[in-house]
Every structure is written in C-alpha cells, then in structure tokens.
Amino acid sequence: MSYWSFLVEYGPRFIDGVWITAQQFVLAALLAIAIALCAGLMRLSENAASRGLAIGYIELFRGTSLLVQLYWIFFVLPLFGITLEKFSAGFLAVGMNLGAYGAELVRGGIQSVPKGQWEAAYALSMSPAKRMIRVILPQALLNMLPPWGNLLIELLKSTALVSLIAVADLMFQAKQINGSTFMSAQAFGTALIIYYILARFIVTPFMRRCELVMARKMGRG
C-alpha cells in the first residue's frame, strides 16, 4: 500500500483525531492560563495562606508526572466519588499540570516589571487591584509571551497523553490505525508530521502575532 493510498484510506480518522486534539489543546490552554494567573498572583500575595496554597499547588503539579496526574484524575478520583468522563479528565489534567508551570512564568513576568512602575502607580493613588491590572500585568504580559509560546507547544505535545485514557485524539487514532494495519512507520510518522505542523505553523505564528500586537501597544516595533 503506498503512503498516498494509506492517507486516502485513513486520512479521515486522522482528521477526527486532529479535531479532538485541537479541542483538548484549546480547553487545556485556557485552563492553564486561568490557573497560571491565579496561582502566579497568589504566589506573590502578601497573604501567607494564599501564598502557601499556590506554592503547594505548583510543587505538587510540577514535581510529579503528568501521566500519573492524568491517571489520578481519571482512575482514582472516582473512588472519592468524583467521576469525570475521559474527555474532561484529559484536558483537566493537562491544563492543571501546565498551569503550574505557567504560574511560575506569571510570577517571573510580574517580578520583571521595574519597581518604579509600582511606585508611579502608587503615587497616582491607584488601588492595589488597579495597579496590577492597569499597569503591571500589561507589561508583565509582554515579558511573558515568548516563554508562554514554548509552554503552549509543550502543552500541545502533552495532550498526546490523553490517548492513554482512550480519548480519541490524534495519538489515539494513530495507535488504532497501527493496531489494525501494522503500518507503524506510516501511522506514527503521520502523527509526528501533524503535531509538528500544528506546533510550527499554527501555535508559533499565533504567538508571534500576539507578541507583535503587544509590542505595538507598547509603542515598540
């Protein structure tokens, strides 16, 4: 069977897989961003309790394997009465894990904003929330975007793990096709190429675009 006829035969299944991978990616990314923002801000809070909570969260999710976390969420939580369907368990695990890494990026981004910016905002009598939202976060965001680009690519690749709890994503389809055809090189080679294309031609250009827009807002570029 030529690679061309392989693609014609199994292409639709790869496309189904890509669609699920895309959904997992977007949902996990949104969750990771939300978690990163919360945990990153809590990590810098003056309140020891919220700081401790954030540190605990970051340590737990960065210090243990994503696969184990995924299995916990899918197989162990039901024992405590929390049952999630596999699709939700998948993006929750990936989002929560990468959110912990993102929290450190948020923290670093905020800390990289010069102290003079806080002081100028303070001198205008801005409230702590206004200082953060109006002055600090926009600048922190610009500093954070390049590392976030890397993190989102990492996140995309991590979504492949959800195939292990039988979410029918791109990786899952590749495995299935391999199982029924034994054409490993074609099946996993195609998956490889598609992941690369998604990362290189969709995620990366999108992040570049964000960086450009932000840079223009700062009057640079």
Interface residues for other proteins in 105-134 (CB under 8 A)? 114, 116-117, 119-128, 130, 134
202 token code pair: 């969709």
In the complex, minimum distance from the CB of residue 219 to other proteins, in angstroms, rounded to a whole number: 2
Residue 48 near residue 191 (C-beta atoms within 8 A): no
98 token code pair: 């990468």
154 token code pair: 């990492």
Q: Which DSSP state fits 1? A: -
In the complex, minimum distance from the CB of residue 130 to other proteins, in angstroms, rounded to a whole number: 5
Q: Cα(51)–Cα(45) distance, rounded to whole angstroms?
A: 6
In the complex, minimum distance from the CB of residue 87 to other proteins, in angstroms, rounded to a whole number: 38
68 token code pair: 């184990």
In the complex, minimum distance from the CB of residue 144 to other proteins, in angstroms, rounded to a whole number: 14
Q: Cα(216)–Cα(221) distance, rounded to whole angstroms?
A: 6
45 makes contact with other proteins (CB under 8 A)? no
- Residue from 12, 52, 78, 138 that binds other proteins (CB under 8 A)? 138
201 makes contact with other proteins (CB under 8 A)? no
Residues lying near other proteins in the complex (CB under 8 A) are found at 114, 116-117, 119-128, 130, 134-135, 138-139, 142, 217-220
